[in-house]
């Protein structure tokens, strides 16, 4: 049995690791579609290796010129194509949203690494998935951990505990935090990731987005989702059951494991390239509650999640701009949270938004964040 995959965002970090997994199991997975943004050179290499039938790139002209043999599809066509069994949404940011909707509406298995789609439109996506019998298979290491712990359990979890490494600034004082450089913020202690998610990990915004994701993926109220700092990044999350028993999932930080699990689920595949825990060197695993005063983004995200409606979309969009402004050294590290909070404060929320209203709120928030700092509109 071969699973036919479309990988959206194939040239990014998750996309490339997805292809590594596919490479390890050529008789189990086949790439039928690849989609990328601007990295045309890498996309061309991937196309020549995996020979997909369908392809998408942001720059259609430049791409089709080079690769006449593939059929060019839009992201949404690719995500809903009858030839595709599982859609891997490996693209980051808002570009994931419409393809996710298209995939769940056509009843696909959706291996989801894109946080923003569930955070901004979790209600719509989970409703459509249920309606169309689409399965959402989480790729984030935390959600994969929870999903693995829930395997075979017939009752809902009593509590989810998402672990966080705490990022590079875990032990920084608030004053020192105010002066951190972009270079420091991009140096994550345990995970190799893209720039946006690395900064989000340093502010703990990333963990806040994951709390919202977990709420939608597992149907657990926000009050029963907790974040715990675990600097070793070995336990990827924990689930407490109604009898007080807790299960945890452990592994060295390597995204290929949750990717592979999402693709092979419910089966597990033996992959000698995945690292094994060295039991003799496990040493000490430590846990502590997060400091919400030092890392207000976590609090802002959970509050936005609880309020619901268009708030999470505004949170996401404002954060996206804030991180960009930090990366281009227009604002300081601590300004990220301040800016997001300001934008959330000025938002006129819609309680039960349509997809269009979510997209509009996102656009408003990005523009507002940009204006508040520069006085200008973004390009």
Q: Which residues bind its own copies (CB under 8 A)?
A: 148-149, 151-155, 158, 161, 226, 228, 235, 238, 240-251, 257, 260-261, 264, 266-271, 274-277, 279-280, 282-289
Q: Which is nearer to its own copies, 82 or 270 (CB)?
A: 270
Of 38 and 156, the one with the shorter C-beta distance to its own copies is: 156
What six digits make up the tokens of 193? 């990731």
Shortest distance in whole angstroms from residue 230 CB to its own copies? 9
* Gap between the Cα atoms of 51 and 297, Å rounded: 42
> Minimum distance between the CB of residue 158 and its own copies, rounded to whole angstroms?
8
Could you give the 3-state DSSP secondary structure of residue 351?
A: coil
Beta carbon nearer to its own copies, 279 or 379: 279
Q: How far is the CB of 367 from its own copies (least distance, A)?
A: 39
Nearer to its own copies, 99 or 166 (CB): 166
User: Two tokens at 199?
Assistant: 């900064």
By C-beta, is 158 or 349 nearer to its own copies?
158
Q: Rounded to an integer, what distance in angstroms lies between the CA atom of residue 340 and that of residue 322?
A: 7
CA angle 19-5-72, nearest 5°? 95
Name which of 131 and 282 has its Cβ closer to its own copies: 282
CA nearest neighbour of 90 among 199, 31, 145, 12: 12
Count CB neighbours of 176 within 10 A: 11
Neighbouring-strand partners of residue 111: 88, 137
Closer to its own copies at the Cβ: 98 or 250? 250
Report the nearest approach of its own copies to the CB of residue 23 (Å). 16
**Shortest Cβ 252–its own copies spacing (Å):** 8
How many Cα neighbours within 13 Å face the side chain of 317? Answer: 26
Minimum Å distance from CB 28 to its own copies? 13
Taking CA atoms, 196 is separated from 33, 103, 134, 203, 275, in Å, by 25, 25, 29, 11, 26
To its own copies, the closest distance from the beta carbon of 266 in angstroms equals: 6
Give the largest Cα separation in the chain, rounded. 61
d(CA 60, CA 75): 12
3 state SS of 228: strand
Q: How far is the CB of 24 from its own copies (least distance, A)?
A: 11
17 or 249: whose CB is closer to its own copies? 249
SS3 of 162, please? strand
């Amino acid at each position: 049995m071969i699973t036919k995959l479309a990988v959206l965002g194939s040239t990014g970090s998750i996309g490339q690791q997805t292809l590594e997994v596919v490479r390890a199991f050529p008789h189990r997975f086949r790439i039928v579609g690849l989609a990328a943004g601007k990295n045309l050179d890498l996309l061309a290499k991937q196309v020549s290796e995996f020979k997909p039938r369908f392809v998408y790139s942001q720059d259609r002209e430049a791409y089709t010129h080079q690769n006449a043999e593939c059929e060019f599809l839009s992201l949404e066509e690719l995500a809903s194509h009858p030839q595709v069994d599982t859609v891997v949404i490996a693209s980051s940011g808002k570009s994931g949203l419409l393809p996710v909707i298209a995939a769940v509406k056509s009843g696909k298995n959706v291996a989801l690494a894109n946080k923003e789609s569930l955070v901004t439109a979790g209600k719509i996506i989970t409703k459509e998935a249920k309606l169309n019998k689409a399965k959402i298979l989480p790729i984030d290491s935390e959600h994969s951990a929870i999903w693995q712990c829930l395997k075979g359990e017939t009752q809902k979890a009593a509590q989810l505990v998402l672990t966080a490494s705490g990022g590079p600034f875990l032990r920084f004082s608030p004053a020192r935090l105010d002066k951190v450089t972009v270079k420091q913020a991009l140096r994550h202690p345990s995970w190799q990731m893209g720039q946006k998610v690395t900064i989000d990990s340093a502010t703990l915004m990333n963990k806040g987005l994951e709390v919202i994701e977990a709420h939608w993926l597992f149907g657990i109220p926000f009050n029963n989702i907790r974040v715990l700092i675990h600097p070793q990044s070995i336990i990827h999350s924990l689930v407490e059951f109604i009898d007080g028993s807790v299960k945890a999932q452990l592994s060295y930080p390597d995204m290929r494991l949750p990717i592979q699990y999402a693709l092979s689920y419910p089966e597990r595949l033996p992959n000698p390239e995945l690292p094994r825990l060295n039991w003799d060197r496990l040493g000490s695993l430590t846990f502590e509650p997060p400091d919400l005063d030092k890392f207000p983004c976590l609090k802002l995200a959970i509050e936005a999640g609880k309020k619901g409606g268009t708030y999470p979309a505004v949170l996401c969009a404002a954060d996206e701009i804030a991180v960009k402004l930090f990366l281009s050294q227009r604002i300081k590290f601590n300004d990220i949270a301040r800016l997001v909070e300001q934008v959330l404060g000025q938002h006129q929320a819609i309680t039960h938004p349509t997809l269009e209203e979510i997209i509009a709120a996102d656009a408003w928030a990005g523009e507002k964040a940009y204006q508040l700092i520069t006085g200008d509109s973004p390009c």
